[in-house]
Amino acid sequence: MKILTTVAQAQAQLHAKRRVLVPTMGALHRAHAELIRVAREHAGRNGEVAVSIFVNPLQFEPGSDFERYPRPESADEEFCRNAGVDLLFRPSVAEMYADNRSVFVDESSLANTLEGRSRPGHFRGVCTVVAKLFNILSPDAALFGEKDFQQLAIVRRMLRDLNFKIGIVAVPTVREEDGLAYSSRNQYLSVQERKQAPVLYKALCAAANAGKKSAADVVAIAREIIREAPLAAIDYVEVVDAENLQPVERVGLNSVLLLAVFFGKTRLIDNIRLG
């Protein structure tokens, strides 16, 4: 496995074979292993799987967990080796961003709701770093998890509108045995918070299986179940159109239920298709 830490090194790695990228912020876990496994399928026997690890400061709003976000470099490196990764790109902040940087990528429609409403500027950071990674590593395809549903929709919109010639592969959410979606932030949960966190998936499934066509009814079911967890504090629970992320009144084939809930200071997100 090649480990690259500078943009110059990465751009010097010319490749004639198919390269598939898995962009991450590190603290790798089973869901990342699934992304890497699917990436290998899409790269083919003669292709190349690249993983980027970069904790992107532009994605973190003031007062968030940027400084304490886990950065287990040695463990992540070993994880990638064991997973059969061909290329690991692990740049520093200084390598990725000039001190006087003044150009950003800003999606202005899908990013204004849900996560964007709760975390202003977050998706500006996502789009900027993803565009940079695409330009630096020149992948033929990139993989994103469906757990971050809004991020996936925004990246797809960015590629469409800016004419990136890169395929996007969506990978279904990977869950722990009790239904909690894998996330690097799960390790922040206290023992009691972790015991209650599976209520999110319970709420999603109950709402999806209730047979309700009114979005308000679906949201009410999910909220009622989440309230069963004393440590849960709801940020949002919404039913939206999967393509434009706008609220819908009636559940249809293209509807998705998304939620964000705090357990203490830890904010978890999840979603489920309703159609």
Residues catalogued as catalytic: 32
Q: What CA–CA distance (Å, rounded) separates 92 from 148?
A: 24
What one-character-per-residue DSSP string does 8-69 give?
Answer: HHHHH---SS-EEEEEE-S---HHHHHHHHHHHHHH-TT-EEEEEE---GGGS-TTSSTTTS
Six-digit token string for 254: 């293209």
Q: State the amino acid at position 68 in one-letter form.
A: R
Positive or negative, the CA dihedral 95, 50, 140, 172 is negative
- The answer to whether 185 and 267 are in contact (CB under 8 A) is yes
Look at strands 167-171 and 48-53 and give their pairing. Answer: unpaired
3-state secondary structure of 131: helix
- The answer to whether 146 and 271 are in contact (CB under 8 A) is yes
Q: What CA–CA distance (Å, rounded) separates 255 from 243?
A: 9
What DSSP state is assigned to residue 208?
A: H
122-137 and 149-162 are packed helices; what angle lies between their axes, rounded to 10 degrees?
60
Cα torsion through 207, 208, 213, 214, rounded to 10? 30
Other Cβ atoms closer than 10 A to 102:
5
